[in-house]
Chain A
Amino acid sequence: MSPLGPLLLATLLFCVGIYGVIARRNAVLVLMSVELMLNAVNINLVAFSNLLFPEDAAVSGQIFALFIIGVAAAEVGVGLAIVFNMFRNRASVNVDDVDLMRW
């Protein structure tokens, strides 16, 4: 299998994630975009660990992916707590409303 496919898919997912973070107003959707980016990394790690380094007995790339999954869950948990707290105070999850401090 050519490594081009996973690489393209991961790049696409990553770019969609970045676009989502920049363009989306809804904080929950921003969080989901961040998740997309992290999963793009996971695809890279798992696919290339399998395709390029099959002789690596420790499957280090795939182990890394496991850690990313675990940490991503914690990150979304914290992120949602922050968004939820903001929602309780101003009944909005729009990230553009967050503009008290500017220079």
Chain B
Amino acid sequence: MLSRVAENLFWIGRYAERAENIARLIDAVRRMVTLPAQFGRSTTNEWSSVLIAAGARDQLGASIETADERLAVDHLIFDQTNPSSVHNCFLRARENARAVRATLTQESWEALNAAWREMRGFSPQDTKGAGLLDVLDWIKAKSAIFRGSINATMMRGDGFDFLTMGSAIERIDTTARLLDVKYHVLLPSLKEVGSVEDHYQWLSLLQAASAQRAYFFATQEDVSPKGVAKFLILNPRFPRSILYNLKLADATVADLEAFYNHEAPCRAPLSSLVLRVSNLTIDEVLDSGLHEFLTDVIEQNAHNALQLAEAYGFAPIIGEEPSLGSDPGQ
């Protein structure tokens, strides 16, 4: 496979994933802001915090503090100057796909082509009031159709692996940043563990990761900061947890090694990270500092992406930008 094609596939995986993550994030905030104050309506501005989580501080400046739904939705979904807006995610996923049409299956290409074409038909008007939910559902559905068509039609080979790597690396990054930002936003409530307010705010965090039911199913526990952190970092079976995606990335590089019958230098650091995280308890993570741990994961993850690119001839990664937030510890 051409190295450029590997690069295009990697980015398709990232952008398709990113579009969906943004939709889930907005959905969670939409739920939070509709809560009555006594049920966890935070004193902080949720729209502001979601924009901070999405790394919009540089672009929006001071207006981010007084952000409302309109500003957040415009920026995160429609803004063409925001490289990670849903509009641009679909645009770039489709551009990358167009450059490798012969490698993607017809159905997968058509899924991204349709996402981009339909996206151009939406305007901020369509997200007013109840319309927002429809648009968010539409974004998630388009991502799901793409992922489904890949799963159903694409040959399991190096191309599939590079797509999977893009998706896994994007998810690790998203979950780490989400947890980090929310941890800090919600920090005051840690003092009142078990309060109603605390409960609903951490619940919203699970919702952002589409993890609410999975959490209850897997843990049978009440929502708690520690429980949520443990679930999103260390659960080996939840497909958006950090550990799950580290393992997925490791197995995918192992598959590439087998496919090419050639050891990849990027494998060793990845495997050792998997081993390290697998053996951690949540208490160890919290004792040594959640923020420090997550920062480390984010950096390691970016490094792993770069090493992957180097191993297969498409480094440096051009156009790399943070998926959710350059401002994790605000």
Are A and B a genuine interacting pair, yes or no?
no
